Amino acid sequence: MQRTRLSTLFDRLFGQLEQWSQNPWRRISILIISLLLGNFLATTVSTTTGQKAELDITVALILLTIVEIISWLTYGSNFGRRRPESVAILGQRPLWIAILNSLKLGLIYGLFVEAFKLGS
């Protein structure tokens, strides 16, 4: 890729974000926020699609596809794993993949809670 001003700006920005997130408390707080955002997203999706009964199957297919892609990125592919020389803490994934995984977990948990509310 060419070294343009925009690509240099993004490289520096992502480098600073990665350095900022090396603090464990900041990383945990970002992951907890994304978990809660996933829970909120599940509540929002279930109430919006519940208003129109036409979209239930389509939205379920879209959510299943998104969840499976995030799971594949996190656990199945080598895309989300760092090379051994760049790992500061063993087993730690890049921040954006950890955020996506936390968002996915919050989404699944929120959908289970909504299903239990509808069942009672």
- Residues 9-66: pLDDT tens digits? 999 998 888 888 888 899 899 999 999 999 999 999 988 887 877 888 888 899 999 9
What is the residue-averaged pLDDT of the chain?
A: 85
Domain count, the chain: 1
> Over 90: is that where the pLDDT of 76 sits?
no
Contacts of 9 (CB under 8 A, 6+ apart): none
| Domain-located, residue 85 | yes
Q: Which pLDDT band, with edges at 50, 70 and 90, does 81 fall under?
A: low
> Over 60: is that where the pLDDT of 86 sits?
no
Whether pTM exceeds 0.85: no
| Domain-located, residue 110 | yes
Contact present, 33 and 95 (Cβ < 8 Å)? no
Read off the pLDDT of each residue in 65-70 and give the average, rounded to a whole number.
94
| Domain-located, residue 66 | yes
Contact present, 98 and 31 (Cβ < 8 Å)? yes
Q: Which pLDDT band, with edges at 50, 70 and 90, does 90 fall under?
A: very low
| Domain-located, residue 35 | yes
| Domain-located, residue 60 | yes
Contact present, 104 and 67 (Cβ < 8 Å)? yes
| Domain-located, residue 94 | yes
| Domain-located, residue 34 | yes
| Domain-located, residue 3 | no
Range of the domain at 94: 24-119
